[in-house]
Structure 1
Amino acid sequence: MSDIHVRVASWQKDIADLRRIRETVFIAEQAVPPELEWDSDDANAVHFLAFEGDYAIGTARLLPDGHIGRVAVLKDWRGLKVGDALLRAVIAEAERQGLKAQRLSAQVHATPFYEKHGFRIVSDEFLEAGIPHVDMLRESA
């Protein structure tokens, strides 16, 4: 792994990379129905792309209300701190925007990852797209 970096992405200019990653992770690997993956929030979200060199390998989005979502890293790059870099960038942008509370719905297996970044579970387990999730909250000082 070399030269991992994260930048804010443009939904219009970077849509091919954003779609490729999300379709691979959510639709192909996790069997999320396409109609649940794509929503009207994409147009108003701040999107992020993680790259190794110039190849996009991960994505996330931040909604205007502080909700973080669509965090996805391609399989070959998982476990290499790409998700950490993405989440740090999203949290930094949320705080820059003055969003003191960041929320997300985490797949249950990923809760330790989010807890490491200051999130705590604030709901009972529920199913979203057939996958067990919990709501999580992070509050900035």
Structure 2
Amino acid sequence: MSTAIRIEVGDWKTLGEAASEIRRRVFIEEQRVPRDEEWDGRDPGCVHFLAWHDGVAVGTARLLPDGHIGRVAVLEAARGLGIGVALMEAAIEAARRRGFERVELAAQTHALAFYERLGFRAEGEVFLDAGIPHRNMVRRLSD
């Protein structure tokens, strides 16, 4: 099995087409997130990350201007290969380079352990977003 993972960093104009397809498949088709909730209009102002595995775009994430990481998605066939970790490490590093003291995200509750392994700490109560249970998480970058 190959471990050729590459993370491309760019803007929505550059990465949006491939990122949209991944998000459509993961969030809209697989998780049944309503289209109008997935496409929130914030993508043009974000830094985007696209994960490539053996030359195929298989994952995406975005960093919002306020330091939130979101829309982390990996195609089902590519899960378990380290794609999510690579995307998160790239987003965290981008936030650090931009001077953020912390990064935040709203994690689906089934993924809490994944984010905890990356140094995130859950805060607050469980809430529903697009009908899916989530919990806010924070990771400090300066300590």
TM-score bracket, normalised by the shorter chain, equals over 0.9
Total equivalences in the alignment? 141
2-side partners of 1:115 and 1:46: how far apart?
A: 23
2-side partners of 1:4 and 1:10: how far apart?
A: 20
Q: 1:28 matched to which residue of 2? A: 29
Q: 1:77 matched to which residue of 2? A: 78
2-side partners of 1:96 and 1:79: how far apart?
A: 28
Q: 1:11 matched to which residue of 2? A: 12
Q: TM-score, normalised by structure 2?
A: 0.95
Q: 1:51 matched to which residue of 2? A: 52
Q: Which runs of 4+ in 1 moved over 6 A?
A: none
2-side partners of 1:40 and 1:55: how far apart?
A: 26
2-side partners of 1:78 and 1:7: how far apart?
A: 18
2-side partners of 1:11 and 1:54: how far apart?
A: 20
**What residue identity is the alignment partner of 1:40?**
G
Q: Secondary structure at the match of 2:106?
A: strand
2-side partners of 1:95 and 1:14: how far apart?
A: 21
* Alignment gaps of 5+ in structure 1: none
2-side partners of 1:9 and 1:50: how far apart?
A: 12
2-side partners of 1:14 and 1:133: how far apart?
A: 26
Alpha-carbon displacement from aligned partner over 1:37-66 (angstroms, at most 9, x marks no partner) = 011211100000000132110000001110
2-side partners of 1:20 and 1:8: how far apart?
A: 17
Q: 2:137 matched to which residue of 1? A: 136
Identity percentage of aligned residues: 50
Alpha-carbon displacement from aligned partner over 1:17-39 (angstroms, at most 9, x marks no partner) = 01100000000000000000011
Q: 1:102 matched to which residue of 2? A: 103
Q: Secondary structure at the match of 1:14?
A: helix
**What residue identity is the alignment partner of 2:121?**
R
Q: Secondary structure at the match of 1:8?
A: strand
* Alignment gaps of 5+ in structure 2: none
Q: CA RMSD in A?
A: 0.9
Of 12-21 and 101-110, deviating more is 12-21
